[in-house]
Amino acid sequence: MDGNRAALAAVVVVVLAAGGCWLFKRGNRGEPIDLIARFAEAQKKPASGTFAVVDAELNGETKRAIFTVPGSRIIFKVRVPDDGWLKVWVGMKAESWDKEGDGVLFHVGVSDGRAYDQLFSQHLNPFANRNDRRWVPSYVDLSPYAGEEVDVVFNTNTSPPGKGDDPRNDTALWGTPEIVVR
């Protein structure tokens, strides 16, 4: 009988230790990868394009952001953590809200060097849609690329699909882009 209790106690200790390790690992989510902090090393296309890190206020909410004009591309090389997600807010500078144009089309995709997968697309037109006069939150699941070093690609276009090129008053903002673990 004492042998059975000792064996049971040993099993309970092992299960509790394993459970504690699992919980510790799950609780240790790591620091977010701040892409604005990596802005200087990001690849920018075209190289002569307009790119700047700014503090941008939209509808009373200020965020550190990357400003660019449509037709641009910013590429960050990152190693995607387990359960990694891209968290970014998109918007357009307030001075463009009351000026004619058809807005900006934002895209995010991932390239592993062999293929490009578009994961996100959002069209904003604050001139025509008052609801677009704010930061629009976006969350992109990167977990299929966990453990891989990939290019996270931020693209902007001057118009939505099927429309002609209309760059008027296109002031694209990528607000506080970071990779987080969920």
pLDDT tens digit string along 73-83? 999 999 999 99
Beta bridge partner(s), residue 152: 76, 110
**Percentage of residues in the chain with pLDDT exceeding 70?**
78
> The whole model's pTM is what?
0.80
* CATH level 2 (architecture), domain 32-181: Sandwich (2.60)
pLDDT tens digit string along 81-104? 999 999 999 999 999 888 887 789
Residue 162: predicted pLDDT: 66
Phi, psi of 21, deg, nearest 5: -65, -45
Answer yes or no: is pLDDT of 3 > 80.
Answer: no
Residue 27: predicted pLDDT: 41
Q: Report the mean per-residue pLDDT for the chain.
A: 84
pLDDT tens digit string along 34-71? 999 999 999 999 887 889 999 999 999 999 999 998 88
